[in-house]
């Protein structure tokens, strides 16, 4: 097949990829008669997960295994002046302590080397202890005596913004402020000049953590000169394999990443981390397997997070509500390294129809752990400012906020002028407003409920790249008994790729789902880029479909010779191969498989994206809240969520994604935040009590609705990506609902009681002044 270049957008970042065109298969259109795809089928591995049979990385135990734990910097910025591990090494059971003084430098992308002389945040790694018993590790870590020279630091955004460049250079060689990244469409000044109404507001969105149930870490076993095996919790077995091989300068083929089950990633486990390198190095030195897993405090100090932003939005519109200008200026807080995923300009440029847009993103470096993508990076944060400012504009225009959104509906991708392959946002607006009782529950005068407990509703929308794209690769192997294994390095983080990809394979082959087994997450299987960017379904579904199709052709060849017909006359349904024109001429699929002299293997990959269209997922959510204006407590009563995911291969799992996304973001909107003591630069929210995730009791009643909009332009299965989008509209819909309930804007997230009370009080004293 011919090779072509194609554009792929993942986590908001677009790259060009060279890819082989896929085998052309008829698309499963809206009216396709499908037996398995589209059914509500429980996750194929749910049983193992709930019974405890599933083995996670942490469960891995090997003979002679050592346990490792990091010695971490207590200072946000310091230079190591000495490391004395002798006391620790004297403790019975302590085997090795590694640090900058006794290891050769190993390059590690974000902060230069795996061990550095300079510590850049509280929790940065100074040394690692390996011991025979995990129970002695905390004491052993305390016994390693590291001395530091403290250096100037900054952990406060306002302080960083105001800092003089000379001081800033003492903290980071590049200073604390990166050059501003600007994007423009049209003429922003002309846009505001044409506006009858202009509104402006600033929002502070906080740092939140991925808080995966399964912590970060790995078990590494380096059989020196032979192979490096790593049992991992990763969103990309393939990516980790490559990076680890490169780090230690050994061939990819000698590195094996193993992962059967995973307890969540949300963007924080997409690549190589220091623990991979440190565990491998300790294993190489000791010749023993090494188990290196963070505890919860370490999770909250030294795993990545969603960045903080201070976003200022200015919108201009004509008096009938047509947007004339969108301006967004943001300070994007990166932590100590890595400015990737900080730029939040996409929403301003894409969501609403507007000829004049100006965005200015400024990355700010602080002495905090680094960020990474987190479920819908950038758009989840930007949607807060975009959508709350739309409601501010609606209130100035005296217009229904949903009406304002419909009026500025974009039918083209304004960044490329391509049409959207499908766009179900209008249906989503209609569904959620109906479901939340918009007409009756919306306060036309915000805050008009009598009494201290006030109710209101709010809306939020969402746009997110959902095409997926290469590289995604899988093979379908048909065993001698007719059972089927689908192999790929793709990771199932718990959200269900094993299930839906097995369904696609069973559908294409015409066999029952029960005979298909998905074997994923091993780096020596066919490549998949990774499970992030909502890319797995739209990338892997076409790939496994092609692999199944290829394997089917061999089955048909064998069956044809048995039945004395041409292969093109055959079909397979429910595990029986038969002649289309005469179904009585048939042979069971398993019997054909048994006739094969070799394993039948079909290879399938994801081809290029359609260059003439933009494929995005869309959705809207409407929240109903009750605000106790005397205690500041915001109760999220109901939340209706409607999302356009193209074809729902398994509606039950799409609804699960909606539930999960809403819950995660309802915590973002109301409870979760990293709090840092600014005098010392030490985060104080380093346990799961002080760092508050949403509990089941705080969950709203969620009405999860799928706007099914089969997208055959996107790919031949009609499915678009859907994992991240449901986190995006939730927080702004809560913020807008709190305004509708109280008549007061609370623009600092999360909307915790003290912030709500503070805003209400400020509004009160402003009124009386």
Residues found near other proteins in the complex (CB under 8 A):
74, 122, 138-139, 297, 451-453, 630-633, 635, 670-671, 675-680, 682, 684-687, 689-690, 692, 694-695, 697-698, 752-754, 757-758, 761
Q: Which is nearer to other proteins, 566 or 677 (CB)?
A: 677
Q: Minimum CB separation from other proteins for residue 451, in Å?
A: 5
Q: Which is nearer to other proteins, 76 or 217 (CB)?
A: 76
Contact 386, 348 (CB under 8 A): yes
CA-closest candidate to residue 473, choices 552, 530, 517? 530
> Do you find a cis peptide bond into 750, omega within 30 degrees of 0?
yes
Q: Minimum CB separation from other proteins for residue 383, in Å?
A: 23
Instruction: Specify the residue for token string 């915590």.
Output: 667
d(Cα 319, Cα 695) in Å, to the nearest integer?
Answer: 43
Task: Supply 640's token pair.
Answer: 């209706």
Q: Minimum CB separation from other proteins for residue 699, in Å?
A: 10
Q: Minimum CB separation from other proteins for residue 103, in Å?
A: 26
Q: Minimum CB separation from other proteins for residue 277, in Å?
A: 25
Ranges of beta strands (E only) in 294-384 are: 305-306, 309-317, 323-335, 357-365
Q: Minimum CB separation from other proteins for residue 450, in Å?
A: 9
Q: What are phi and psi of 170, to 5 degrees?
A: -70, -20
Task: Supply 282's token pair.
Answer: 């300790």
Task: Supply 229's token pair.
Answer: 């095996």
Q: Minimum CB separation from other proteins for residue 91, in Å?
A: 12
Q: Which is nearer to other proteins, 69 or 647 (CB)?
A: 69
CA-closest candidate to residue 604, choices 476, 500, 490? 476
The bridge status of strand 634-644 relative to strand 418-419 is unpaired
CA-closest candidate to residue 120, choices 158, 79, 84, 92? 79
Q: Which is nearer to other proteins, 173 or 451 (CB)?
A: 451
d(Cα 245, Cα 250) in Å, to the nearest integer?
Answer: 5
Contact 294, 213 (CB under 8 A): no
Q: Which is nearer to other proteins, 139 or 224 (CB)?
A: 139
> Do you find a cis peptide bond into 157, omega within 30 degrees of 0?
no
Q: Minimum CB separation from other proteins for residue 297, in Å?
A: 8
Q: Minimum CB separation from other proteins for residue 754, in Å?
A: 4
Q: Which is nearer to other proteins, 644 or 694 (CB)?
A: 694
Q: Which is nearer to other proteins, 29 or 138 (CB)?
A: 138
Question: Residue 464 half-sphere exposure, CB side, CA atoms within 13 Å?
Answer: 37
Q: Which is nearer to other proteins, 304 or 632 (CB)?
A: 632
Q: Minimum CB separation from other proteins for residue 758, in Å?
A: 6
Q: Which is nearer to other proteins, 616 or 672 (CB)?
A: 672
The bridge status of strand 453-465 relative to strand 616-628 is antiparallel
**Who contacts 183 (Cβ-Cβ below 8 Å, separation ≥6)?**
345, 349, 357, 358, 359
Q: Which is nearer to other proteins, 252 or 295 (CB)?
A: 295
The DSSP secondary-structure symbol of 352 reads: B
Contact 215, 296 (CB under 8 A): yes
Distances in Å between the Cα of 399 and the Cα atoms of 194, 321, 392, 402, 406 are: 19, 8, 10, 9, 12
Q: Minimum CB separation from other proteins for residue 698, in Å?
A: 5
Q: Minimum CB separation from other proteins for residue 637, in Å?
A: 12
Contact 360, 329 (CB under 8 A): yes
Q: Minimum CB separation from other proteins for residue 672, in Å?
A: 10
Q: Minimum CB separation from other proteins for residue 667, in Å?
A: 9
Q: Which is nearer to other proteins, 228 or 676 (CB)?
A: 676
- Quickly count helices (H) and strands (E) in the chain: 20, 36
Distances in Å between the Cα of 715 and the Cα atoms of 32, 417, 475, 499, 541 are: 14, 20, 19, 19, 9
Q: Minimum CB separation from other proteins for residue 122, in Å?
A: 7
Q: Which is nearer to other proteins, 235 or 685 (CB)?
A: 685
d(Cα 121, Cα 141) in Å, to the nearest integer?
Answer: 18
Q: Which is nearer to other proteins, 104 or 697 (CB)?
A: 697
Q: Minimum CB separation from other proteins for residue 630, in Å?
A: 3
CA-closest candidate to residue 703, choices 635, 622, 618, 627? 622
CA-closest candidate to residue 205, choices 120, 332, 105? 332
Q: Which is nearer to other proteins, 196 or 295 (CB)?
A: 295
**Who contacts 466 (Cβ-Cβ below 8 Å, separation ≥6)?**
534, 538, 615, 616, 617, 645, 646, 714, 720, 721, 722, 725
Q: Minimum CB separation from other proteins for residue 295, in Å?
A: 9
Phi-psi region of 763 (alpha: psi -120 to 50; beta: other; left: phi over 0): alpha
Q: Which is nearer to other proteins, 727 or 752 (CB)?
A: 752
d(Cα 54, Cα 44) in Å, to the nearest integer?
Answer: 12
Q: Which is nearer to other proteins, 74 or 419 (CB)?
A: 74
Q: Minimum CB separation from other proteins for residue 681, in Å?
A: 10
d(Cα 7, Cα 78) in Å, to the nearest integer?
Answer: 43
Q: Which is nearer to other proteins, 197 or 682 (CB)?
A: 682
d(Cα 118, Cα 337) in Å, to the nearest integer?
Answer: 13
d(Cα 163, Cα 166) in Å, to the nearest integer?
Answer: 8
Q: At what angle do helices 237-248 and 274-286 cross, to 10 degrees?
A: 50
**Who contacts 192 (Cβ-Cβ below 8 Å, separation ≥6)?**
198, 314, 316, 324, 325, 327, 356
d(Cα 428, Cα 68) in Å, to the nearest integer?
Answer: 49
Contact 315, 391 (CB under 8 A): no
Q: Which is nearer to other proteins, 368 or 707 (CB)?
A: 368
């Amino acid at each position: 097949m011919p090779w072509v270049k194609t554009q792929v957008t993942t986590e908001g970042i677009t790259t060009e990829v060279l890819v082989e065109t896929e085998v052309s298969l008829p698309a499963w259109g809206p009216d396709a008669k499908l037996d398995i795809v589209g059914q509500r089928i429980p996750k194929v591995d749910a049983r193992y997960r709930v019974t405890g049979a599933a083995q996670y990385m942490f469960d891995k135990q090997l003979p002679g295994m050592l346990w490792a734990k990091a010695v971490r910097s207590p200072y946000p910025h310091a230079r190591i002046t000495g490391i004395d591990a002798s006391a620790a090494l004297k403790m019975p059971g302590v085997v090795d302590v590694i640090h900058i003084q006794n290891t050769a430098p190993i390059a590690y992308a974000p902060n230069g080397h795996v061990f550095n002389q300079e510590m850049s945040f509280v929790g940065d790694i100074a040394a690692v202890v390996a011991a025979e018993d995990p129970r002695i590790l905390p004491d052993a870590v305390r016994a390693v005596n590291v001395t530091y020279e403290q250096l100037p630091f900054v952990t406060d955004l306002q302080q960083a913004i105001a800092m003089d460049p000379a001081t800033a250079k003492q903290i980071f060689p590049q200073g604390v402020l990166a050059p501003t990244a600007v994007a423009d469409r049209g003429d922003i000044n002309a846009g505001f000049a044409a506006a009858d109404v202009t509104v402006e507001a600033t929002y502070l969105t906080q740092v939140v953590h991925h808080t995966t149930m399964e912590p970060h870490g790995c078990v590494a076993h380096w059989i020196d000169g032979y192979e490096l095996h790593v049992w991992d919790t990763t969103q990309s077995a393939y990516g980790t394999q490559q990076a680890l091989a490169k780090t230690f300068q050994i061939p990819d083929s000698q590195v094996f990443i193993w992962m059967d089950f995973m307890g969540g990633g949300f963007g924080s486990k997409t690549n190589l981390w220091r623990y991979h390198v440190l565990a491998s190095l300790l294993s190489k030195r000791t010749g023993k397997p090494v188990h290196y897993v963070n505890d919860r405090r370490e999770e909250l100090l030294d795993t990545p997070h969603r960045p903080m932003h201070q976003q200022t939005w200015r919108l201009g519109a004509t008096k009938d509500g047509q947007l004339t200008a969108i301006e967004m200026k943001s300070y994007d807080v990166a932590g100590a390294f890595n400015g990737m995923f900080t730029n939040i300009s996409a929403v301003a440029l894409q969501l609403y129809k507007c000829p004049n847009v100006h965005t200015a993103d400024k990355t700010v470096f602080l002495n905090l752990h680094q960020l990474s993508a987190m479920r819908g990076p950038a758009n989840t944060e930007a949607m807060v400012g975009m959508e709350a400012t739309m409601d501010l504009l609606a209130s100035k225009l005296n217009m229904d906020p949903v009406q304002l959104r419909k009026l500025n509906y974009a039918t083209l991708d304004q960044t490329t002028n391509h049409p959207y392959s499908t766009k179900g946002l209008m249906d989503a607006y209609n569904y959620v407003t109906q479901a939340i009782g918009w007409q009756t529950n919306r306060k036309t005068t915000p805050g008009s409920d009598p009494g201290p407990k006030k109710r209101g509703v709010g809306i939020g929308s969402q746009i997110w790249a959902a095409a997926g794209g290469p590289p995604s690769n899988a093979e379908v192997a048909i065993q001698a008994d007719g059972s089927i294994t689908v192999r790929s390095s793709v990771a199932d983080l718990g959200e269900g790729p094993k299930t839906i990809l097995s369904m696609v394979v069973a559908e294409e082959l015409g066999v029952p789902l029960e005979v298909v087994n998905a074997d994923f997450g091993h780096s020596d299987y066919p490549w998949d880029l990774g499970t992030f960017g909502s890319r797995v379904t739209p990338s892997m579904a076409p790939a496994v479909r092609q692999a199944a199709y290829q394997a089917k052709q061999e089955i048909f060849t064998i069956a044809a010779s048995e039945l004395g017909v041409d292969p093109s006359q055959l079909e397979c349904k429910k595990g029986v191969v038969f002649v289309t024109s005469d179904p009585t001429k048939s042979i069971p699929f398993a019997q054909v498989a048994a006739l094969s002299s070799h394993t039948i293997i079909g290879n399938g990959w994801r081809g290029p994206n359609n260059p003439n269209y933009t494929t995005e997922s869309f959705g809207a959510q409407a929240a109903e809240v009750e605000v106790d204006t005397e205690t500041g407590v915001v109760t999220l009563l109901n939340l209706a969520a409607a999302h356009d995911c193209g074809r729902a291969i398994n509606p039950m799992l799409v609804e699960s994604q909606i539930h999960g996304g809403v819950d995660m973001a309802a915590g973002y909107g109301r409870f979760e935040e990293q709090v840092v003591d600014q005098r010392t630069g030490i985060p104080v929210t380093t346990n799961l009590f002080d760092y508050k995730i949403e509990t089941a009791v705080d969950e709203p009643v969620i009405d999860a609705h799928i706007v099914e909009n089969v997208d055959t332009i996107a790919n031949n299965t009609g499915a678009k990506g859907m994992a991240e989008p449901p986190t995006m509209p939730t927080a702004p819909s809560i913020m807008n609902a709190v305004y509708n309930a109280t008549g007061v804007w609370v623009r600092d997230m999360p909307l915790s009681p003290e912030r709500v009370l503070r805003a209400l009080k400020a509004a009160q004293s402003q009124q009386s002044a």
